[in-house]
Structure 1
Amino acid sequence: MDVKEQIAKAVGRIANDKKLQEQFQKEPVKALESILGIDLPEEAIDQVVKGVKAKLTTDRLSDSVDALKGFLKK
């Protein structure tokens, strides 16, 4: 299993779906398993959850910085 590929797939789906975002916050493993359509092996669960959380946080921070830059240019 390519962990980076699975993280990218999950982030793409979660970032665009409020219900999945809520489910991921409450039950990250269950949310990822439903998105990816697989039972995650024990050794990959934490790695994928941490990767998705990090990517979602980074994307939100980047959006906020871009919005602030746009505001400051006005």
Structure 2
Amino acid sequence: MDIQKIISDLVSKLTGNKDLIAKFTADPLKAIKDLLGIDLDPSQLGDVVKGVTGQLGDITGDAAKQAGGILSKLKSIFGRK
């Protein structure tokens, strides 16, 4: 699975759309499945969320700040520290 392509596709769909960014922030796994129609395993999900959050920060600034806690939430969900 091409993680970079997934990140690129998500960033293009999320850019400038506060509603989609809010959905991604609240539940990244569901947002990815809804937007792209794919399921990811936890390790892939973490990589995608980190990449998307980083690129959104480059594009929107505030969106990345809002999404900044997503990775820590994911880590706690999957028992990582």
Which band: TM-score by shorter chain?
0.7 to 0.9
After superposition, the CA RMSD in angstroms is 1.3
Equivalences for 1:1-74 in 2 at 5 Å?
A: 1-61=1-61
Report which of the two structures shows the higher radius of gyration computed on alpha carbons.
1
TM-score using structure 2 length: 0.67
8 Å Cα contact 1:11/1:55 also seen in 2:
yes
Unaligned runs of 5+ in 1: 62-74
Any gaps of 5 or more consecutive residues in structure 2? 62-81
- 1:13-71 deviation line (CA, Å, top 9, x unaligned): 0113222111011112211121110111222010001100000011124xxxxxxxxxx
Paired with 2:7 and 2:46, the residues of 1 have a C-alpha distance of 12
Q: Percent identity?
A: 34
Quick one: which amino acid aligns to residue 32 of structure 2?
L
Q: Counting helix residues as a fraction of each chain, which structure ranks higher?
A: 1
Equivalenced residues, count: 61
